[in-house]
Structure 1
């Protein structure tokens, strides 16, 4: 992604692939706050992939701080 370009959006399957989990686990992590809530666009549910990457980095930082 280049500076100034819009953030890529991913569906639940793409988020699950990035997190190496099932779509149902993605929804559990949304419920417990580990993964950010999705963006609703009409009938679509999408996540900002940069927010997913930031959430992963935050969990890694917590692990390293412990």
Structure 2
């Protein structure tokens, strides 16, 4: 059986649209949702009545932008 520390290391933190905007340089919630609509930011997941973005998806967006910058 896994201990709590090893499970916590594999859990993908879930972010609100406001937290995503802050991670991406302080963009507005409206811009976050506009970028979702454009396909720049992956669609969030829904759990019950909440909508959240997995941290790994947002880190992927940042990594993609870094790679495009280098091209």
Q: Classify the TM-score, shorter chain.
A: 0.7 to 0.9
What corresponds to 1:52 in structure 2? 58
TM-superposed CA distance for 1:5, in Å, is 2.2
For structure 1, the residue ranges without an aligned partner over 5 or more in a row are none
RMSD over aligned CA atoms reads 1.5
TM-score (norm 1): 0.87
Larger radius of gyration: 2
For structure 2, the residue ranges without an aligned partner over 5 or more in a row are 1-5
TM-score (norm 2): 0.82
What corresponds to 2:3 in structure 1? none
SS in 2 for 1:37: coil
What corresponds to 2:13 in structure 1? 8
- The count of aligned residue pairs is 64
CA distance in 1, matches of 2:66, 2:51: 26
Please list every run of at least 4 consecutive aligned residues from structure 1 whose deviation after the TM superposition is greater than 2 angstroms: 2-5
SS in 1 for 2:27: coil
